[in-house]
Structure 1
């Protein structure tokens, strides 16, 4: 039987749970000659799975450690993942997860003892019937659901949600989300939101205080990464708060003119489907900006104050803002200045030659 045929039979044995036959066939495949590094690694991965099925973790760990020296990066990565699973500490399994089969002999003894006791027990007088049990009426159930829903919306909405965009260079920006609870304490959905964010991106920085303030900051990212980050963050926040809105869109277009950079930032936030929540305030700020920045916001205008732009969003409509900014490039200005000085030197030298002075020469 060839190696490829044995491998097919071994995979079938692994799928059917016959781990012993699978390991036996894979060992014969590994003894063959002319196996490539990638092919040998795939065979070893199958052997690890079979050993794990038999409960032989030590054999599986030894194969994983040998795979860490493989030249294929994908195989090394899979070996690391399997090794972390195999070396993880065993957790105590709750008794409710296991089914305990009773001893039939003890069960028969207990049953006969129970029958004997039951025969000599005095009969209790029967209570008069109270009639069939009535279920909760629809009106009462609806009232309870309405109360719980109202409390959830009120507790989720008593916050001020501010998105901060900081332009730090060509196609580089930082995002921050400032969430302040009006109740002066962290709400349950804020704690859930923080835990979900840490799982989504460990590189972000989260500052939470006991007075209900929560600040989430991203590292320096480009416009595409910012668009993805803001969508995923808003999606987690709305899911934790129990509300639904369309994912916002942020685009940053730039033109480099060597001496300066023209930036055009556009943000679209659709709040048409957002229900009315008392105490909810959503706003956005952009910094730094100059006095010559062109602003266009709707339906509410953006306000420029101390090199910052503040824009408050309105519920039930499509909110758009467009910011056009010009930034001087110091490196580009330096290059232009050097070229200008070099041009003046060349012109002066040519005028000197025309006047008959010529180039400096050594004495004869």
Structure 2
């Protein structure tokens, strides 16, 4: 299947032009610690240093830049577990558009506060992202606001794909890129950008064992739902993947793996202690996969980029991780 009719490299290049003076080019840094324990030549792409603290700003800003005058006047509305919310909120503010965000009641307080701080009206509803999404759709029918999908939108995907171009600018001979998956917008854009340059780049997607709609769908060959319990990777807790993103992932992503909550917590600790990076649960997915046996054959002896998608984590979560790993029981 040719996925160019969804998103092409030309769409991503145009998105890069839009973002050129509006988004940050984030660092790509070598991790000597991860290199030493994995046998890979390991690098971190630090999207936790992007505006609003995550990659989501790219897709949101690019999408809003495509809206018509009428769509802008209606104002925009989005649903999000937190990072898309902040991306839409700041992008709307910068482009002079009113925004409303529907977030699950379980969203981290830091993300709720930040979204309001960027100027959006925040509506809290439901326990999961999918609950918030349903509420958002209900509001759209009544209000006529312009809906900004968090991942299943070609302009959003193209915006996220600019990360792939930045990776290639710094490391044209990269072998493997590991990226988290929620609804699939990030990895879809990455896959189009990277495989357009070199089809042999191995792309690995990662989800939490507790919620992995894309992994389940990828394995089944059709879109299905998966949810067993909450996950600290709340930014990727999407039970059902997007229609567009599923097709791109099925065509261009080589492998999708899952990691446990314990593996996630350990990766967050390693990134904080050894990488000096404050990372949220979803942001640690790729590193958790990198250090596990599940990806060993794809990373050993290879140039590998682990994508750190975001750093919007509650201080309470950081405190819990520190307490867990550095309690008297753990130390002794």
Q: Return the TM-score normalized by structure 2.
A: 0.22
Structure with more helix by fraction: 2
Which protein has greater RCO, CA pairs closer than 8 Å, 6+ apart? 2
